[in-house]
Structure 1
Amino acid sequence: MDTDPTPGDTGTVDALASHLRKWAERLDGQATAADDLVNTGLEAAAWSGLAADVFRDRLRTLADAARIASSRHSAGAAAATTWLTSMTTSQNTADAALQDAEEAQADLEEAEAKVAALGVEHAALLLAADALQRAYASGKESSRRTMLDARRAEQDTEDTLIRARFAIEDAQERLDDARKRARQAGHEYDAAEKTFASALDEALQGAMPVIPAPQVAAFATAVSKLSAIAGSASANAALMESLTRLTPEELRILIAQDPEIVQRFWEHPPPPDRVATWWKRLLPEQRAAFQTAAPEILGNLAGLPYGVRNTCNLTIYERAKKRPDLTPEQRKVLSALKDVLARGSASLVSFNLDASVPMVAIGYGDLDTAHTVTWAAPGMNSDATDATRNWSQAAWNLYEEQRKRDGRHTHGVIGWLGYDTPDLVTVNNPALAQDGAWRFAIELDGTRASRAGNLPSVAVLAHSYGTTMAANALTHTKYPVDSFTMLGSAGIDTDTVTSLADLHVKKTGGLPSIYTTAASQDQLAPFGSTVGGRAEPNPEAAFSPAGTLAPAAVIRGAQSFSSEGTTLPNGDRLKQTRGHSALGENHDGFNFLNGYAPEGHGYLDPKTEALYNAALTTTGHLGEVVGGLRPTR
């Protein structure tokens, strides 16, 4: 054969396997050392604060990366060892085949030369024997013995020639077989080589990405700046300090090296007043740089203009659609947002797919200029995964109704899906309301902070368990809101809110601007108040047929309005709310305590009295509430 079918160097492959095993051991040792430093060294050093947290996160990330890299290097070493074995076997097979081929080729050439010589000799003997036989037959004096000797010599030569020809065939067959075995060894070698290359590439792909030196330097600078923040500072204050100290590029590198900081900003949002002040002091080019460097942080930063937040969140939304690691729940949210954001006036006020559950908020109207801004909070079974479409529609219905009731002013409504809402089991537990309340309170204060100098009227509307969460939030806000409207309340947590007077809500005409309604056919809300041990703000609901099954405690101080349906002076008919749903739907099967309102008869369905009156309470037109307001004192 002209070329070696198995040309590899086993020594090189063996050296590669040894090198990979050595690095696997070294990387595993580095991971262990990083773990030890995080778990013992830093604790002993008593280093605390945001810089310490970031440094620990980075060390943990490096430890995890080193451990993964160690595993991949081990896999690469195993692949190299397998390749070494395959290479050795293929080369031994090929070498034996090539040796056999050389021997067969030599035998073939020898036999072919012998056949050529014997052919000439046999032809000469045959001519001589034929001549003697003709002479003998014609009576010439050639002896019979001489003729027979010649004929015998010719026959012996022919027999030798036949054996030589058989030797050619045998040598050719052996040569063909040796070549076939050499080619097969070559194919097996090539296949094993491809398998090795694929396995090595898969094992070492991204095993330990190289971080460019400038990024390392920027990260070190960022950590150094964060180290100047007092370790005693709260998480919220420390994160605010990080914004004021870091350049946009340093913040970008920090996010790249410590992605957990994005969730830290979500869980511990900086004070909105300080965020607004920081933003206003930046030059236009600095603002643009921060939006480019950290849209995942700025998009959810209460205190920034809503236009800025929308731009940043849409950037992350577009990136999210290309993520390969999305869960089914996250994909469901993205699908819903595609439809919701298609509505022209919609904006993405907040967007966090990676929270404990996906969380979003959809705004309608120009939130940076609107005369009124209403935050609408949902209740049970309203995580963004399942409620993005419905709750956004409910918010849109309220927005449209506000525009109808008060066309002299501009309005904005935000459908907030920013907390982990309960299900039928966890609805009795106050923990989810307490957790969501802190984030909601920050958002409410953020409206005032971002609109300083052009303050809108800020309203809160909540449904079901959302009233529990929103009431808790209104004990945490720095600034009072202008009104709080409750629809089908599932009760107030009196461990947090001992009296509605505790809520940071302004007064109108000497009375707290707290409004409530409970439809007579909504039997689920008072039942939920009772089972959850919460106080019902609607006395008539507490003593309804559902309430008599287990009467709820009552918390007074709100002003009640009707959702039972009525006819307006102009003859327009407002529909009755006939169940607990914010939006009604046709529901087949058992309907426990009218948990599902029929289609068109939810609290926030168009042309219902509940929506009509809620649009008036949230925009301050109290004198136009149909049926008037009734104090629950």
Structure 2
Amino acid sequence: MGRTDVLDVRAILRTPVMAAVVAGALGVSLLFSASPASAAPAGVPQPYIGPDPVGGGSSLDTIARLDGVALLDQLVHLTPRERGEFLDLHPDAIVDLAATPPAPAAVTTWWSRTAPLARAALAAELPGVLGNLDGIPYAVRDLANRTFLTQTVFAIRDQLEAGVGRAMEDELQARLKMLGAVERSLLTGPSGEKRSLVALDVTQQGRAVISVGDLTDADYVTFFVPGMYVGVAEQLVDWTGNAETSLIEQQQWLAELGLEGEVATVAWIGYHTPTVVNIAGMDLAYQGRDALTGSLQGLDALRGGTGTVLASGTPGTSVAVADSGPFVSIVAHSYGSTAAMLALQENDVSVDALIVVGSPGSPATSVDDLKVTGGNVWVAAADSDPVPRSGVFGSQPLDEAFGANRFSVKAMTDPITGEQLDDIEGHVYYFWPGTTSVRNTALIAIGQGALATTDTAPAKATAK
């Protein structure tokens, strides 16, 4: 257990701020689970709630032994006073619920069969928990997380005004800086599309997921997964800007090609990215693997059928099939590509397109190891990017034997629009506006990989 002098846990539990602040007080991270826990399916009788017939104790003690959907079911049936008492007596139960939540599909089923008033009460009292449960509708999560964000900011300011030691003041000020970055990242950008706070962890250096556009209705959804040194406090604003740049590019290409469809992009800083002290290890990649899996499974639970909207035959081409969900892409940079490939290799999740840039590699040896529809995997790297040459994490997706499609990031004149596009230098500018890289990744993300350019054979197709 970590430090217990950060905050008064019992006092915080009596306010709606409790979820992340409990995490800080207990020295653990509440949100972004390492792996979704299984949950009892709908229709299974719930455990007896009342005086414990075996070990003695109150009904609240019995509830505290539950987990997943079973615990959520009992929490919604308690009165506000009883929930307050439960939080006082059993804070670890809520910590465990957030740390190992039910599978997203189970959460979606639970939410659909829970009365609206009970949902509202639980969201109001536990916004930091419900706002981060994959499988709950995105509009509900956005409202809960924004509430949680505001309340956490006020709680920290109140504590600072009350007076703390120098070390604690520095820690709390760092959290305020991180939360301020989240607030700025939620401001509407040049596309005019609404931004939503899909997930928020306010502990340690923080984690956050922000969508640009409506994930509930979008026909094309793209997750942007970052690599080394991309943290909430310093990079979330720019990372969300990168997601917006791609959204605008995707929208423009849909219009240029005479295609219909709504776009949503996701600035996903859902794991703690490595720094120079831990970049050589795989631990954070595995954390990213499982957190990304939860996000993708949450989308699938709400929308259904990710990986089936467009079916790829020959890599780089696509045909329409039954519309049972959005066309889902991952754009993964650097160390984030390792996490993304681990998710698609080892976990129960699939996507329609995977785009990796500046990748240090992964244990996957070929596209056949990855659950990507039709082997629709794309890779690129700037000539001056040193990371892909490191080979530190296994097979390199740039290698011909890996079987991925190569796309260009070099300067060129767009063969369709005639626009002059810039090249990429180094490791960090793959998402810079006006580059060949942004052009090609946007086309792949809307299922038009056949129009992506290579260094040897630019696409010659024309707009419809």
Same topology, TM > 0.5 = yes
Root-mean-square deviation (Å) = 2.5
Deviating more after overlay: 408-417 vs 258-267? 258-267
Of 209, 213, 230, 1:361 maps to 209
Q: Is the 8 A contact 1:438 1:476 kept in 2?
A: no
Structure-1 residue corresponding to 2:173: 328
Of 408, 433, 450, 1:562 maps to 408
Q: Is the 8 A contact 2:358 2:387 kept in 1?
A: yes
After superposition, residues 461-610 of structure 1 pair within 5 angstroms as 461-492=331-362, 494=363, 497-507=364-374, 512-522=375-385, 524-527=386-389, 529-530=390-391, 532-539=392-399, 556-569=402-415, 570-581=417-428, 602-610=429-437
- Name the structure where helix makes up a greater proportion of residues: 1
Change (3 A) 1:606 1:491: same
* TM-score using structure 2 length: 0.72
Mapped partners of 2:238, 2:63: distance in 1: 45
Mapped partners of 2:401, 2:85: distance in 1: 51
Q: Is the 8 A contact 1:306 1:368 kept in 2?
A: yes
Q: Is the 8 A contact 1:269 1:442 kept in 2?
A: no
Aligned-pair CA distance for 1:269:
2.7
Could you list the per-position Cα deviations for residues 183-233 of structure 1 after superposition, in whole angstroms to 9, with x for gaps in the alignment?
A: xxxxxxxxxxxxxxxxxxxxxxxxxxxxxxxxxxxx943331343x4xxxx
Mapped partners of 1:263, 1:456: distance in 2: 33
- Tell me which amino acid in the other structure corresponds to 1:442: G
Aligned partner of residue 350 in structure 1, secondary structure: strand
Q: Is the 8 A contact 1:462 1:486 kept in 2?
A: yes
Aligned partner of residue 261 in structure 2, secondary structure: coil
Aligned partner of residue 402 in structure 2, secondary structure: coil
Aligned-pair CA distance for 1:317:
0.5
Structure-2 residue corresponding to 1:337: 182
Q: Is the 8 A contact 2:351 2:371 kept in 1?
A: yes
Mapped partners of 2:268, 2:432: distance in 1: 18
Mapped partners of 2:450, 2:73: distance in 1: 47
> Structure 2 unaligned runs (5+)?
1-21, 27-56, 160-170, 306-323, 458-464
Mapped partners of 1:455, 1:555: distance in 2: 32
Structure-1 residue corresponding to 2:310: none
Could you list the per-position Cα deviations for residues 5-54 of structure 1 after superposition, in whole angstroms to 9, with x for gaps in the alignment?
A: xxxxxxxxxxxxxxxxxxxxxxxxxxxxxxxxxxxxxxxxxxxxxxxxxx
Change (3 A) 1:358 1:614: same
Structure-2 residue corresponding to 1:245: 74
Q: After TM superposition, what 4+ stretches of structure 1 lie above 6 angstroms from structure 2?
A: none
Q: Is the 8 A contact 2:338 2:393 kept in 1?
A: no
Aligned-pair CA distance for 1:256:
4.8
Mapped partners of 2:269, 2:335: distance in 1: 13
Q: Is the 8 A contact 2:424 2:430 kept in 1?
A: yes
Aligned partner of residue 321 in structure 1, secondary structure: helix
- Tell me which amino acid in the other structure corresponds to 1:358: G
Deviating more after overlay: 308-317 vs 616-625? 616-625
After superposition, residues 268-283 of structure 1 pair within 5 angstroms as 268-283=100-115
Q: Which has the larger radius of gyration?
A: 1
Structure-2 residue corresponding to 1:598: none
* TM-score using structure 1 length: 0.54
Could you list the per-position Cα deviations for residues 475-513 of structure 1 after superposition, in whole angstroms to 9, with x for gaps in the alignment?
A: 344232111110111221x1xx34432222111xxxx01
- Tell me which amino acid in the other structure corresponds to 1:537: P
Q: Is the 8 A contact 1:296 1:316 kept in 2?
A: yes
Q: Is the 8 A contact 1:463 1:486 kept in 2?
A: yes
Q: Is the 8 A contact 1:240 1:271 kept in 2?
A: no
How many residues are treated as equivalent by the alignment?
361
Could you list the per-position Cα deviations for residues 408-465 of structure 1 after superposition, in whole angstroms to 9, with x for gaps in the alignment?
A: 2101111111111111231111111012211111111110101138621121111011
Mapped partners of 1:267, 1:623: distance in 2: 42
Mapped partners of 1:358, 1:336: distance in 2: 11
Q: Is the 8 A contact 1:359 1:418 kept in 2?
A: yes
Structure-2 residue corresponding to 1:298: 130
Q: Is the 8 A contact 2:352 2:373 kept in 1?
A: yes
Could you list the per-position Cα deviations for residues 287-321 of structure 1 after superposition, in whole angstroms to 9, with x for gaps in the alignment?
A: 22221222111111111111111011001001011
Structure-2 residue corresponding to 1:91: none
Q: Is the 8 A contact 2:228 2:335 kept in 1?
A: yes
* Higher RCO, Cα 8 Å, sep 6+: 2
Change (3 A) 1:469 1:479: closer
Mapped partners of 2:195, 2:121: distance in 1: 25
Mapped partners of 2:183, 2:252: distance in 1: 27
Aligned-pair CA distance for 1:525:
1.5
Structure-2 residue corresponding to 1:401: 249
Change (3 A) 1:263 1:415: farther
- Tell me which amino acid in the other structure corresponds to 1:468: T
Change (3 A) 1:305 1:323: same
Aligned partner of residue 378 in structure 2, secondary structure: strand
Mapped partners of 1:629, 1:440: distance in 2: 34
Mapped partners of 1:377, 1:306: distance in 2: 19
Change (3 A) 1:491 1:263: farther
Mapped partners of 2:447, 2:456: distance in 1: 12
Could you list the per-position Cα deviations for residues 579-621 of structure 1 after superposition, in whole angstroms to 9, with x for gaps in the alignment?
A: 110xxxxxxxxxxxxxxxxxxxx11011101011101111211
Mapped partners of 2:365, 2:84: distance in 1: 45
Deviating more after overlay: 414-423 vs 322-331? 322-331
Structure-2 residue corresponding to 1:376: 224
Deviating more after overlay: 325-334 vs 384-393? 325-334
> Structure 1 unaligned runs (5+)?
1-56, 62-218, 230-237, 540-553, 582-601
Structure-1 residue corresponding to 2:50: none
Change (3 A) 1:266 1:385: farther
Change (3 A) 1:424 1:293: same
Counting aligned pairs with the same residue, the percent is 30
Change (3 A) 1:538 1:313: same
Of 288, 305, 308, 2:140 maps to 308
After superposition, residues 30-41 of structure 1 pair within 5 angstroms as none
Aligned-pair CA distance for 1:271:
0.4
Change (3 A) 1:489 1:330: same
